[in-house]
Amino acid sequence: MKKTLICIGIALSSLVINAQEVYKFTDVIDLNATPVISQGNTGTCWSFSTSSFVESEIMRLTGKKIDISEMYNVRNTYPTKANIYVSRQGKAQFSEGGLAHDVFNSIREHGLVPIDAYSGLQGDKEQHNHAEMVSILTAMLDTYIKNPGRSLDPKWRDAYTAVLDVYLGENITEFNYEGKRYTPLQFAEMVKINADDYINITSFTQAPFYKDFILNIPDNFSNGSFYNVPIDDLVEIIDYALANGYTAEIDCDVSEKTFSAKDGVAVIPSNKLNNLKALHSIYPEMDVTQEYRQQEFENFKTTDDHLMHITGSVKDQKGNKYYKVKNSWGTDEKRTKFDGYVYFSEAYVRLKTISITLHKDGIPKNISSKIGI
């Protein structure tokens, strides 16, 4: 009898395990994107992801596959960071972070260059590491703000620029590409990237819906504006964009235990006891409301951790939808899965998205008319 009960228990355990199916994904939409690369030891996901997004836009607009320099945009954003930090007497964010619109601000003023024209790597370095550079820049700026000489020498900008030149390389004004000479602005025009065509979308209740406002998050040092829509509309925008050939940038929180680059999934199980198990098998997910999303944001449980690039969608064997999100942490199989992509469930997107950035034509008319674009 005892043996019989043990056998029944084992059988029941097996049934429970088998009831939770291991993920099997099938592509639904797979838009053009360049290969996954690594941002190295830097906080420049904002440039890597937005540059990836721009590369997909170039393919959509011209058919050309071009590897854009991430560090050219970083190099041209650091002077803006410094000016803001000093003018606000240190009462502002100065770090490696940024947002998608910082890249477009750089494109608007400084254009684009291919990676072969500006790598941002000096000497024999093969991986980006900005820790030392940022420490030096921060110390310099803090000294200028303290103003020990009682008069701030305007040459401080030259000294600051010299550090950027040493660590990232001197800025460039012209380069050759496929036998032609370009300035960075001419190159941006050639690949048909107009910075004014791209907009930020968010979804929070502290501001009116269908209006634009400045989203107060740490990395929005440049006070970029975001159009505010209900979370249902934000998801609809992503779905419409992908269905019509547009990829999208996403700023999101990746601090959740249910986000795993190593396992390649990001989910929000309805029962937290299933958090770790849900990284491997299908479990029911939370119905994320606008109210709960706002609560998590205001409690700092949803923060602007990381920017990535939505390039398509997949479904699991039960028909559940996930977004195919390109990361910038490389493709090392010890750290990543799915060639460096992470599959976000809709629940994860609804709860953990800070904002998206995309081409204005990738927004359905019923929503674009409400926000006035």
Alpha-carbon distance values, 149 to 162, 192, 229, 256 (Å): 21, 48, 49, 47
List C-alpha distances in Å: 331 to 36, 48, 54, 80, 259. Answer: 7, 14, 20, 32, 17
For residues 301 and 304, give the distance between their C-alpha atoms in angstroms, rounded to a whole number.
Answer: 10
* 4 domain-assigned: no
In this prediction, residue 278 carries a pLDDT of: 97
DSSP-derived 3-state class of residue 96: coil
- Per-residue pLDDT of 284-322, as tens digits, reads 999 999 999 999 999 999 999 999 999 999 999 999 999
pLDDT of residue 127: 92
Tell me, yes or no, whether 6 lies in a domain: no
CA distances from 96 to 125, 159, 221, 241 (A): 19, 19, 11, 30
Rounded CA-CA distance 85/67 in Å is 31
Per-residue H/E/C for 109-164:
HHCCCECCCCCCCCCCCCCCECHHHHHHHHHHHHHHHHCCCCCCCCCHHHHHHHHH
Residues recorded for the chain: 373
Q: Is 133 a member of any domain?
A: yes
Q: Does the pLDDT value for residue 179 go beyond 50? A: yes
Q: What percent of the chain has pLDDT over 90?
A: 90
Scan for tokens 């927004």, then name that residue.
363
Asked if residue 89 is part of any domain, the answer here is yes
Indicate the Cα dihedral angle 216, 369, 350, 293, nearest 10°: 50
In a domain, 90, yes or no: yes
Each residue's pLDDT tens digit, 346-370: 999 999 999 999 999 999 999 999 9
Alpha-carbon gap, residue 200 to 115, rounded angstroms: 26
The one-letter code for the residue type at 301 is K
Q: What percent of the chain has pLDDT over 70?
A: 95
Is the pLDDT assigned to residue 2 strictly greater than 90?
no
Q: In the predicted model, what is the mean pLDDT of residues 316-341?
A: 96
Contact 214, 223 (CB under 8 A): yes
Instruction: Give pLDDT tens digits for 37-50.
Output: 999 999 999 999 99
Residue type, 25: F
**Helix boundaries (H) for the chain:** 2-19, 45-62, 70-87, 100-110, 131-146, 156-168, 184-190, 231-243, 290-298, 346-352, 365-371
- Average the pLDDT over 131-141 and give the result: 96
The string of pLDDT tens digits covering residues 72-112 is: 999 999 999 999 999 999 999 999 999 999 999 999 999 99
- CATH number for the domain spanning 212: value is 3.90.70.10
Residue 183 domain-assigned (yes or no): yes
pLDDT band at 149 (very low <50, low <70, confident <90, very high): confident
- The C-alpha atoms of residue 157 and residue 60 are separated, in whole angstroms, by 39
Q: Within 169-271, where are the H helices?
A: 184-190, 231-243
Encode pLDDT of 237-262 as tens digits. 999 999 999 999 999 999 999 999 99
Looking at per-residue pLDDT, the higher value among 164 and 16 belongs to 164
Whether the CB-CB separation of 33 and 247 falls below 8 Å is answered with: yes
Query: Is the pTM above the cut of 0.85?
Result: yes
What residue type is 146 in one-letter code? Answer: K
Domain count, the chain: 1
Mean pLDDT of 161-169: 97
Split at pLDDT 50, 70, 90, the class of 19 is: low
Asked if residues 310 and 250 have their Cβ atoms less than 8 Å apart, the reply is: yes
Distance CA 287, CA 346 (A): 10
Domain enclosing residue 139, as ranges: 19-371
How high is the pLDDT of residue 5?
41
The model's pLDDT over 265-281, given as tens digits with 9 standing for 90+, comes to: 999 999 999 999 999 99
2 domain-assigned? no
Whether 339 is covered by a domain: the verdict is yes
pLDDT of residue 54: 98
Phi-psi region of 81 (alpha: psi -120 to 50; beta: other; left: phi over 0): alpha
* Cα separation of the two ends of the chain: 74
Please, are residues 263 and 279 in contact by the beta-carbon 8 Å criterion? yes
